[in-house]
C-alpha cells in the first residue's frame, strides 16, 4: 500500500499572508526537495485560529495540527519532523 | 537594505493594525495612550534595552502613522489622544516626508574598516601593498589600520586572502544615495531635507527603526469616514502583494468604502504613448538620450542633484497623474487616492497636485486586517475591459517601462535601452558622470528601487514571492540592453 503523504496547509488569509506567511510560499527555495516530495502542500483560507486568540500569524497546519508564528526555518523543521514520523 | 520580513516590520504592521482597530471602533482619542502598554506588555522579553524604551518607540511609531513630524512637533508631555484629536481635526502638512526618531537611534560609530584576528600576518601582505595611503601597519605580526590615514576605500578588504578585513557600515548613511543622512553633534541621525529625495532607503535599512515615514493614511480615512466619493487608483505593483486575484483586491477595496477602483496601468498607457513618441522624435533629431519620468524619487533626484538632466527626462507625466486626470474627467466630484508601493509618490502628489491622497500597500494591509477583510474570500469584482492597458502592468518591474515603450515604437530594434535598476551611491556617481559623457543609448529607464516598484518601501511581500504570484511575469530583458556597469 502506498503510504499517505504529509498534508500541509499554509494559511494564506490576508492577516497571515502579510505577517510573513507569504515567505513560506517560497518553500521550494529553502526546504529539502526530498522532504517536499513526501508532502502535499497547499494554500488554504483562514484557519480561524487567529480569531480564537492563537499565538500569532502566520499559521500552518500539518496533518491536522496547527502551528503558529511559523518562520521559514521553523517550517522546514516542522516538515522534516512530520515526514520522519510518517515514515 | 534589511530583509523585508523582520521583527521591526512585524511590529510596524501590528501597531498600524491596532491603531486602525481603535479608529474604526471610535476609540482612537480615548484609548490610543494605552496602546504602547498593550503592545509591549510587562512580561515581554525586550529587543531593545528595556520595555520602557520599546514603549517609547511604539509611541513614536504611532505618531508617524498619524502623520506627525516628530523632528519638529515632539512634545513628550502631550498625550497621543490629543495628537490624534488634532490630526482628525486638521491634516498635517505632507512635507518633509521622512522623520527621525532620535530616541531610537543607536548612534552607530562612523563607517570603518577593521582587521579582525583572522589576520595571519602573511608574508605577501597585499593589504599593505595595495593601500593607497600607507595606512596599514603591522604590530606583533598582525595588520592594523591607522584610522587617521584610512580613507575607507576598502581595497584592503578586497585583497585579503583570509577575509580578515571587515567593513562596518552605518546602515542609514550607507543606504542614502545622495548623502542626505548624517549624524549631528550628538551622534544622532539627522536628515538633510533639502537634499533628501524621499526614496525611503534609509528608513528601510535602519535596524533600530529610527527613521520613519510620515503616513498619509488618516487624511484618506477621514475622506472615507465623511462619506465622500473616493476613487482608489491601484498601482501596477499591487498584483502579488495580497493573496487572491486583482478582481478580489478590487472587491475588497470597494468593501472598505472606496467608490470606484481604477488601475494606474490605465494612466501608464498614456505615459507610454507619450514616451514612445518622444523617444522616436529625439532619435530623429539626434538630440541624444532620454530618460523615463515615472519614478518620483528619480524626479526629486534630478530636481535636487542632477539639474543637467532637466532637459533629458521625458515630458510625459507619471502614470499616477494621468490616471487621476482620467478619473476626474469620468467623475468630476470624486477624490482620487493613489495606493502604491512608493513613498516618493506622496511628495509628487503634494508638489504637483491633482491627487488627493497617497497610501502604501502595507497601510492598506493594515486596513484589511483591522476590518477583518480576507481578500481571498471576497467575491471577484468586475475589472471591466482592461485589454487596452493590460500590458502596462509591467511598469512595476525593472525593464518593464522600457518594454512597454518599445512595444509602441515602430522599429523597436533601433532604440538602444539602458535600464537603471535601483539608485544607490554607485549608480548616483555614474549618473553624475553623464554630464560630461552622455551614455550612448536612446532610452534610459530609471527606477530608484532595486528591481522596480515591486521592491518599493511600501510593499508587503518579497519581490520573489510577488513575482511568483504574478505568474512569474518578470519583464524579460529587452533586446539591445546595455548593462550600466
For chain B, residues with pLDDT lower than 50 are: 473-485
Return the sign of the alpha-carbon dihedral for residues B48, B67, B204, B309: negative
Length of chain A: 87
Q: Which three cell numbers stand for residue B401?
A: 517601462
Q: Tell me, yes or no, if A43 comes closer than 8 A to chain B by beta carbon.
A: yes
pLDDT tens digits, one per residue of B69-114: 999 989 999 999 999 999 999 998 888 999 999 999 999 998 899 9
Inside any domain, residue A13? yes
Q: Which three cell numbers stand for residue B274?
A: 507619450
Nearest C-alpha neighbor of A43 from the set A69, A16, A67: A16
Q: How far apart are the CA of A51 and the nearest CA of chain B, in angstroms?
A: 10
Which residue in this structure is represented by grid cell 510593499? Answer: B459
Inside any domain, residue A25? yes
Q: HSE on the CB side for A21, CA within 13 Å?
A: 28
pLDDT tens digits, one per residue of A52-87: 766 677 899 998 888 888 888 899 999 999 888 887
Q: Tell me, yes or no, if B368 comes closer than 8 A to chain A by beta carbon.
A: yes
Residues 6+ apart with CB under 8 A from B464: A26, A29
Residue B96 burial class via C-beta count within 10 angstroms: exposed 0-12, middle 13-18, buried 19 and up: middle
pLDDT of residue B217: 95
Chain A residues whose beta carbon lies within 8 Å of the beta carbon of residue B5: 20, 23
pLDDT of residue B478: 41
Q: Tell me, yes or no, if B6 comes closer than 8 A to chain A by beta carbon.
A: no
Q: Which three cell numbers stand for residue B49?
A: 534595552
Q: How far apart are the CA of A71 and the nearest CA of chain B, in angstroms?
A: 10
Instruction: Check CB contact under 8 Å for A19 and B13.
Output: yes
pLDDT tens digits, one per residue of B381-425: 888 888 888 889 989 999 999 999 999 988 888 899 999 999 999
Q: How far apart are the CA of B249 and the nearest CA of chain A, in angstroms?
A: 11
Q: Tell me, yes or no, if A54 comes closer than 8 A to chain B by beta carbon.
A: no
Chain A residues whose beta carbon lies within 8 Å of the beta carbon of residue B468: 25-26
Measured CA to CA, the distance from residue B219 to residue B355 in angstroms comes to 12
Candidate from A13, A25, A46 with C-beta closest to B465: A25
pLDDT of residue B483: 38
| Closest chain A residue to the Cα of B11, Cα to Cα | A19
Q: Could you state, in order of their start, the residue ranges of all structural domains in chain B?
A: 7-107+176-215, 112-168, 220-469
**CATH number for region B220-469:** 3.40.50
Residues spanned by the domain of A10: 6-86
C-alpha distance from residue B129 to each of B124, B141, B182 (Å): 8, 16, 32
Candidate from A13, A20, A22 with C-beta closest to B374: A13
Residues 6+ apart with CB under 8 A from B138: B121, B125, B128, B144
Q: Which of residues 187-246 of B touch A (CB under 8 A)?
A: 242-243
Instruction: Check CB contact under 8 Å for B461 and A18.
Output: yes
Count other C-beta atoms under 10 Å from residue B212's C-beta: 21
Q: Tell me, yes or no, if A68 comes closer than 8 A to chain B by beta carbon.
A: no
Instruction: Check CB contact under 8 Å for A14 and B376.
Output: yes
Q: How far apart are the CA of B255 and the nearest CA of chain A, in angstroms?
A: 15
pLDDT tens digits, one per residue of A10-37: 888 888 888 888 888 888 888 888 888 8
Would you say B32 and B218 are in contact if contact means Cβ atoms under 8 Å apart? no
Measured CA to CA, the distance from residue B396 to residue B394 in angstroms comes to 5
Write out the E strands in B270-351: 290-291, 335-340
Measured CA to CA, the distance from residue B365 to residue B358 in angstroms comes to 14
Domain count, chain A: 1
Q: Describe the crossing of helices B7-25 and B361-371 by its angle, rounded to 10 degrees.
A: 50
Return the sign of the alpha-carbon dihedral for residues B24, B26, B27, B29: positive
Return the sign of the alpha-carbon dihedral for residues B239, B245, B247, B250: negative
Chain A residues whose beta carbon lies within 8 Å of the beta carbon of residue B373: 14
DSSP one-letter string for B407-454: HTSS-GGG--EEEEE---HHHHHHHHHTTTS--S-SEEEEESSTTSGG
Q: Are strands A65-67 and B136-139 parallel, antiparallel or unpaired?
A: unpaired
Q: Domain with A11 in it: what CATH number?
A: 3.40.30.10
Chain A residues whose beta carbon lies within 8 Å of the beta carbon of residue B10: 19-20
pLDDT tens digits, one per residue of B5-15: 778 888 999 99
Q: How far apart are the CA of B250 and the nearest CA of chain A, in angstroms?
A: 14
pLDDT of residue B472: 58
Of chain B, the percentage scoring pLDDT greater than 70 comes to 97
Q: Describe the crossing of helices B361-371 and B217-225 by its angle, rounded to 10 degrees.
A: 50
| Closest chain A residue to the Cα of B371, Cα to Cα | A15
Q: How far apart are the CA of B1 and the nearest CA of chain A, in angstroms?
A: 17
Q: How far apart are the CA of A6 and the nearest CA of chain B, in angstroms?
A: 24
State yes or no: pLDDT of A1 exceeds 60. no
Measured CA to CA, the distance from residue B11 to residue B28 in angstroms comes to 19
Q: Tell me, yes or no, if B95 comes closer than 8 A to chain A by beta carbon.
A: no
Nearest C-alpha neighbor of B470 from the set B249, B197, B258: B249
Would you say A53 and A22 are in contact if contact means Cβ atoms under 8 Å apart? no
Inside any domain, residue A1? no
Q: Tell me, yes or no, if A48 comes closer than 8 A to chain B by beta carbon.
A: no
Nearest C-alpha neighbor of B348 from the set B321, B326, B322, B329: B321
Measured CA to CA, the distance from residue B210 to residue B71 in angstroms comes to 11
Q: Which of residues 7-46 of B touch A (CB under 8 A)?
A: 10, 13
Which residue in this structure is represented by grid cell 480561524? Answer: A48
Inside any domain, residue A74? yes
Strand, helix or coil for residue B233: strand
Q: Describe the crossing of helices B217-225 and B80-89 by its angle, rounded to 10 degrees.
A: 60
| Closest chain A residue to the Cα of B241, Cα to Cα | A18
Instruction: Give the best residue of B6, B11, B255, B376 to mutate against chain A (max A CB count within 10 A).
Output: B376
C-alpha distance from residue B385 to each of B226, B232, B262, B382, B429 (Å): 31, 17, 11, 9, 44
Chain A residues whose beta carbon lies within 8 Å of the beta carbon of residue B41: none
* CATH 3.30.70.20 assigned to B112-168: yes
pTM recorded for the entire structure: 0.89
Amino acid at each position: 500500500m502506498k503510504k499517505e503523504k504529509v498534508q500541509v496547509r499554509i494559511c494564506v488569509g490576508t492577516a497571515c499572508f502579510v505577517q510573513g506567511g507569504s515567505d513560506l510560499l517560497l518553500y521550494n527555495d529553502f526546504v529539502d526537495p526530498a522532504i517536499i516530495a513526501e508532502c502535499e502542500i497547499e494554500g488554504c483560507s483562514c484557519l480561524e485560529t487567529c480569531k480564537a486568540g492563537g499565538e500569532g500569524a502566520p499559521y500552518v497546519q500539518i496533518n491536522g495540527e496547527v502551528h503558529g508564528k511559523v518562520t521559514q526555518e521553523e517550517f522546514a523543521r516542522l516538515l522534516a519532523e512530520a515526514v520522519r514520523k510518517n515514515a | 537594505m534589511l530583509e523585508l520580513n523582520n521583527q521591526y516590520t512585524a511590529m510596524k504592521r501590528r501597531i498600524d493594525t491596532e491603531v486602525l482597530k481603535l479608529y474604526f471602533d471610535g476609540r482612537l482619542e480615548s484609548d490610543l495612550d494605552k496602546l504602547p502598554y498593550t503592545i509591549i506588555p510587562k512580561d515581554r522579553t525586550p529587543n531593545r534595552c528595556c520595555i520602557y524604551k520599546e514603549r517609547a518607540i511604539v509611541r513614536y511609531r504611532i505618531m508617524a502613522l498619524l502623520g506627525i513630524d516628530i523632528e519638529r512637533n515632539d512634545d513628550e508631555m502631550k498625550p497621543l489622544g490629543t495628537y490624534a484629536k488634532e490630526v482628525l481635526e486638521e491634516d498635517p502638512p505632507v512635507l518633509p516626508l521622512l522623520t527621525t526618531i532620535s530616541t531610537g537611534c543607536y548612534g552607530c560609530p562612523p563607517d570603518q574598516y577593521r582587521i579582525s584576528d583572522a589576520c595571519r600576518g602573511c608574508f605577501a601582505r597585499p593589504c599593505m601593498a595595495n593601500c593607497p595611503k600607507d595606512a596599514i601597519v603591522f604590530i606583533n605580526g598582525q595588520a592594523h589600520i591607522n584610522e587617521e590615514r584610512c580613507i575607507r576605500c576598502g581595497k584592503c578588504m578586497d585583497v585579503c586572502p583570509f577575509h580578515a578585513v571587515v567593513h562596518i557600515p552605518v546602515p542609514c548613511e550607507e543606504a542614502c544615495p545622495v548623502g542626505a543622512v548624517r549624524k549631528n553633534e550628538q551622534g544622532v541621525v539627522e536628515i538633510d531635507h533639502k537634499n533628501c529625495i524621499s526614496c525611503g532607503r534609509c528608513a528601510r535599512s535602519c535596524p533600530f527603526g529610527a527613521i520613519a515615514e510620515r503616513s498619509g493614511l488618516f487624511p484618506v480615512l477621514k475622506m472615507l469616514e465623511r462619506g465622500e466619493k473616493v476613487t482608489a487608483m491601484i498601482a501596477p505593483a499591487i498584483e502579488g502583494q495580497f493573496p487572491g486575484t486583482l478582481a478580489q483586491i478590487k472587491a475588497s477595496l470597494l468593501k472598505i468604502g472606496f467608490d470606484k477602483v481604477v488601475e494606474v496601468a490605465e494612466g501608464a498607457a498614456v505615459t507610454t504613448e507619450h514616451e514612445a513618441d518622444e523617444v522616436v522624435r529625439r532619435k530623429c533629431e539626434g538630440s541624444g538620450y532620454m530618460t523615463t519620468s515615472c519614478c518620483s524619487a528619480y524626479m526629486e533626484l534630478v530636481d535636487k542633484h542632477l539639474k543637467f538632466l532637466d532637459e533629458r527626462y521625458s515630458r510625459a507625466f507619471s502614470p499616477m497623474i494621468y490616471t487621476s486626470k482620467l478619473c476626474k474627467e469620468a467623475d468630476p466630484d470624486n477624490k482620487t487616492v493613489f495606493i502604491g508601493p512608493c513613498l516618493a509618490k506622496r511628495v509628487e502628489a503634494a508638489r504637483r497636485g491633482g491627487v488627493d491622497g497617497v497610501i502604501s500597500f502595507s497601510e492598506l494591509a493594515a486596513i484589511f486586517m483591522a476590518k477583518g477583510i480576507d481578500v481571498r474570500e471576497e467575491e471577484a469584482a468586475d475589472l471591466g475591459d482592461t485589454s487596452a492597458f493590460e500590458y502596462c502592468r509591467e511598469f512595476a518591474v525593472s525593464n518593464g517601462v522600457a518594454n512597454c515603450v518599445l512595444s509602441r515604437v515602430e522599429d523597436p530594434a533601433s532604440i538602444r535601452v539602458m535600464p537603471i535598476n535601483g539608485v544607490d551611491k554607485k549608480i548616483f556617481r555614474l549618473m553624475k558622470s553623464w554630464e560630461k559623457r552622455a551614455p550612448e543609448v536612446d532610452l534610459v529607464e530609471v527606477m530608484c528601487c532595486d528591481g522596480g516598484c515591486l521592491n518599493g518601501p511600501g510593499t508587503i511581500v518579497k519581490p520573489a514571492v510577488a513575482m511568483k504570484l504574478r505568474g512569474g511575469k518578470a519583464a524579460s530583458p529587452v533586446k539591445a540592453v546595455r548593462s550600466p556597469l
